[in-house]
Amino acid sequence: MRHRMRRRFPGGRRRSGRFGRGLRRSLQGEETLTKGIVIFDSKYGNTERVAQALASGLKGEGLEVECVRCDRVPMDRLKEYDFLAIGGPTQYGTISKPLEEFLRRVSPADVRGKKAFAFDTRYADERAGSAAKDIQRRLEPLGLGIVRPHASAIVLGGEGPLEEGAEEAFKRIGADLAKRLR
């Protein structure tokens, strides 16, 4: 008889090796997502702060999360994650060039069936556009399931700062996403 490796989670819960990395069984016997990555581009540091806040909210609810700049993401590792949050600054009404290049390199085979969330930083004026809308539009054809509609953090000037409370709001969004992923 084959022995199955068991790992303990905080609170005494166990994960059997047969369920794969990043999955755990809930009390009802359902698999829940536990490993995610927050991928971002940032020109002046505002989007990076929002990405870190989002990751903090996800981690606070027990998810294993990495926060990585889009030009440093090892593309061959995307298949390891159950959840991807992707965001960047709105530049000229749409996605920044580095983030656009990243999205072009994503292989549907590596992300199909995974969960996703799009976010951005932008001006308050709706006419300035939203990178998050465009990011979300590009994620769906890749076979990613959108967990929650995209969200934006408002910047008060070209180089910032962020609107007061934006980081705290994204921490709450991260916690909400974690609950939706369970």
Q: Inform me whether the pLDDT recorded for 133 exceeds 90.
A: yes
Interval 118-146 mean pLDDT: 96
What torsion, rounded to 10 degrees, do the Cα atoms 169, 68, 49, 150 define? Answer: -40
Range of the domain at 54: 34-181
The answer on 28 and 90 residing in a single domain is no
The answer on 142 and 103 residing in a single domain is yes
The answer on 85 and 57 residing in a single domain is yes
Tens digits of residue pLDDT in 77-90? 999 999 999 999 99
The answer on 15 and 43 residing in a single domain is no
Tens digits of residue pLDDT in 159-173? 899 999 999 999 999
pLDDT at 6: 43
The answer on 131 and 68 residing in a single domain is yes
The answer on 39 and 16 residing in a single domain is no
